[in-house]
Amino acid sequence: MFTGLIEALGTIETLIPEPPGLRLVVRSPLFQQTAEKGKVGGNSESIAIGDSIAINGCCLTAVALNGDLVDFQAGEETLRKTNLGQLRQGSLVNLERSLRVGDRMGGHFVTGHIDGAGKIRKIDPQGEWAYYYFDVPQHLIPHLASKGSIAVDGISLTVVDVDPAGFSVALIPHTLQATTLGSRKVGDSINLETDILAKYVARQLESR
């Protein structure tokens, strides 16, 4: 589980084909290695092989550690259903370590399981702020509600309005500076995970 509060940005160092999947080598200050063998971070928040990290909201497993580099493997379905398959060397990604029991819950419950990919329809700058409008797959529309929560590329955001094609959000300057959304452009693909509570409500209604 995650919160949708991005801890750091990472950079794709290299992409290694591992058919039918792909190995992603990510560099980030979040992964700084210490003298403690087999771990990164050197404290109670160390990253070890086998740990789960959300990359653009997609939960992946750390499979190798080397200084400030961590390797992850993405399978064929992950590459097809998320924007991870569109990453290139030098691409920026959002990073978040998994939630620990007892952590302060500042965002909302995010599972790291992407429901679908959407696209940025429009960006409306408002001084240092900005309104972003997203088009989403139609089957996700019933899971959206004004003032509800959604994870966009792993970022916990509050929905402003819902329309027949998607939704909008208002982004504060910190979000624009500390996540990849500040460098995104109209037409870019984004990963979406709707509120887990909305999924269960929708499933209950479908079963009636």
Are 180 and 120 found together in one domain?
yes
Q: Which pLDDT tens digit goes with each residue over 49-103?
A: 999 999 999 999 999 999 899 999 999 999 999 999 999 999 999 999 998 877 7
Residue 40 has what pLDDT? 60
Decide: 157 and 181 in contact? Cβ < 8 Å: no
Q: Render pLDDT for 24-41 as a digit per residue (tens, 0 to 9).
A: 999 999 998 543 445 665
Domain containing residue 29: 8-97
**Tokens for 176?**
């624009």
Which range has the worst mean pLDDT, 164-168, 174-178, 190-194, 204-208?
204-208
Of 97, 129, 149, which marks where a domain is finished? 97
pLDDT tens-digit profile of 106-134? Answer: 889 899 999 999 999 999 999 999 999 99
Residue 63 lies in a domain: yes
Other CB atoms within 10 A of residue 141 CB: 15
Q: How many domains does the chain have?
A: 2
Give rounded-to-5 percent helix, strand, coil for the chain.
20, 45, 35
- Final residue of a domain: which of 54, 69, 97? 97
pLDDT of residue 43: 47
Tell me the pTM: 0.91
Same domain, 72 and 124: no
Task: Check whether residue 123 and residue 69 sit in a common domain.
Answer: no
What CATH number corresponds to the domain at position 54?
2.40.30.20
